[in-house]
Structure 1
């Protein structure tokens, strides 16, 4: 004879369990069952713990919430290169989807990371760069794989970052800028190079902001719209020009592109890139601009107009100075502040999100400090009072 539903053991157990849940609540019941070794919930899927290094790399580069997807194109290029290098060290080719089934958790150990950095980072600067990348990589792909404690241990041991010695921005003096501008007029594509330098020093732009088009330039109002740093979909913002930069820009565009106004539609003309080596179809690359600027700086160093070594009083020795396209940005900022321009206005002109980034430029040249102290109200008093000493004092 078949059991009635009410008499079936499964129904009876179900009814009693439901009564206990109603009386004590699910949390308390699970807690009590757990204390005697009985779990109601299934263990977490271990799939994430078996993630391969290739899968981790693909997740980092493709997941919409990854840090990689939320940085500028230039930073993406750097991150991808670092990802490729890290995977290649462990025999994984991310470009051809070739994996040796290396598990991600196997390579994210202090010893493996230290071995990697020792092998590929020959200078402290390179080690810092690669360690900073690995911190970002781990934070993006290994939060479900490693405990917070283990991630902190990796950051403190293998990926430790010493604070570098603070170095003031290296800028050009007014005389050096004048020399470099004149030097650019002797180069191939002289007018273009001359205008690039005027744009750098007369706006404070970054090199990757020089990829603007004719339609982005308003010489009447003195500004250029450029793509802002820090976002994947980079909105255009205004960069204002000094009178010298406006004059150079107006002459260059007229001389280079005015003959195309009659043969191109208005939108086609406005879409031409201002700085180009193929008649405006494509922008001049960052590398080409940096190479041109580097050549001018090297010539100025050879001619003793620029010194590439300065005395560091803290270290008690000479240190090498690295000038670059960014030095024009430093120059723009430093001289703006020296002239008395409000630091918050300088922040807006440079496009800094934080005032802390602009405060770095409060470090002036030694000679600028001397000029400032010479203007102190006591300076003339001291001169008058010490005349009796004679000679130079």
Structure 2
């Protein structure tokens, strides 16, 4: 029996290859096929590798198998702008097809790429953006021009930037937590959202540890069992709760699930997910929780209760602070330290494997101390006295 076109292996294989090329780009597909000894295209003659920067840019932006074709529209807009800027730096105008016959291999040197990225008056974030673009650009257009070793050298020498000093984790103040809790009471599923916030700040657990079930809750002893990060097969471990979290959880559980206790078997009741959108059948997703918390934080920023930018003295500029569900975990740790709790006990409460992970909160604790000292009655007195002496404060 003759094949119809749709059933013929030739056309099935071609369709699947086209799908892979559109999704991942020619470079990635060729790389993976090459790793198993299959070549998608013929090896080009090394003698025919003299292409101009303009030709390379056009290939990057227009070739149907280019990596550029597989990225999102917003990323395409950004990469096109970066391509334009890079070419312009070397006297090539891609919009008007104006070229000074600059060869691609002439600009792909560590010295020239580094000079481009390290131009004066460019912000650090912009340098990183340019370096990220060039890593993709070089990988896309220079595979037939440069050896794998040469491309790796460019990436390491010129296109690798030291990561900035990480911002310390940011905790909410007690006033900010109170404000967020009050805001949560105005949302859809207010009681559930209110209890989620109390659970986060009253246990220090991570957002993906909120997927516990009724059988994991022991309100009499004040703990819940969660699938802990880094444990074998995510084994369940105890996380203790503050009195406020216990009280909120008890009210929520009674209000939400008490009517099911006499309807379901004990086994089925214990399998219900505490935080759910369908009466306990499935756990509320991380994304849904993060979206809810993000909305509350954005509202608090809009109301000027939370400031999302802080001054970074190391960088000499304001930096954006990304508050999130994890900020409740930071808050739990900071205020545990403030209450005088031993750092090793906090390590166990947070489920850290290493004390080093917990010690990062000591920096935040120092910051809390400094803020408290600045509010000390003698602080203003000292400033006034120094002003009398003519000291610039």
Normalised to the residue count of structure 1, the TM-score between the two structures is: 0.60
- What's 2:33 paired with? 102
Distance in 1 separating the partners of 2:159 and 2:23: 17
Secondary structure of the 1:233 match is helix
Secondary structure of the 2:238 match is strand
The CA deviation at 1:91 is 6.5
- 1:88 equivalent among 19, 24, 45: 24
Q: Relative to structure 1, is the Cα distance of residues 90 and 230 closer, same or farther in structure 2, using a 3 angstrom cutoff?
A: farther
Q: How does 1:65-214 map to 2 (within 5 A)?
A: 88-90=24-26, 102-104=33-35, 156=156, 160=160, 162-214=162-214
Distance in 1 separating the partners of 2:222 and 2:237: 13
Map Cα deviations across residues 333-362 of structure 1 (whole Å, 9 max, x no partner): 111112221111111111111111111111
In the alignment, is the contact (CA less than 8 A) between 1:184 and 1:193 conserved in 2?
Answer: yes
In the alignment, is the contact (CA less than 8 A) between 1:309 and 1:320 conserved in 2?
Answer: yes
Secondary structure of the 2:225 match is strand
Distance in 2 separating the partners of 1:150 and 1:330: 44
Map Cα deviations across residues 44-91 of structure 1 (whole Å, 9 max, x no partner): xxxxxxxxxxxxxxxxxxxxxxxxxxxxxxxxxxxxxxxx99981336
Map Cα deviations across residues 87-145 of structure 1 (whole Å, 9 max, x no partner): 8133667xxxxx897313999xxxxxxx979x968778998xx9xxxxxxxxxxxxxxx
The CA deviation at 1:168 is 1.1
The CA deviation at 1:164 is 2.6
Q: Relative to structure 1, is the Cα distance of residues 158 and 231 closer, same or farther in structure 2, using a 3 angstrom cutoff?
A: farther
Distance in 2 separating the partners of 1:187 and 1:240: 27
Number of aligned residue pairs: give it.
277
- What's 2:331 paired with? 331
In the alignment, is the contact (CA less than 8 A) between 1:90 and 1:102 conserved in 2?
Answer: no
- What's 1:368 paired with? 369
Q: Relative to structure 1, is the Cα distance of residues 101 and 318 closer, same or farther in structure 2, using a 3 angstrom cutoff?
A: closer
Distance in 2 separating the partners of 1:247 and 1:212: 17
In the alignment, is the contact (CA less than 8 A) between 1:176 and 1:306 conserved in 2?
Answer: yes
Map Cα deviations across residues 244-268 of structure 1 (whole Å, 9 max, x no partner): 0000001100110011011100010
In the alignment, is the contact (CA less than 8 A) between 1:169 and 1:363 conserved in 2?
Answer: no
Distance in 2 separating the partners of 1:178 and 1:151: 53
- What's 2:315 paired with? 315
Q: Relative to structure 1, is the Cα distance of residues 289 and 388 closer, same or farther in structure 2, using a 3 angstrom cutoff?
A: closer
Q: In angstroms, what is the RMSD of aligned CA positions?
A: 4.3
- What's 1:349 paired with? 349
- What's 1:48 paired with? none
Distance in 2 separating the partners of 1:228 and 1:258: 28
Name stretches of at least 5 consecutive residues in structure 1 with no aligned partner: 1-83, 94-98, 108-114, 131-148
- What's 1:291 paired with? 291
The CA deviation at 1:370 is 3.2
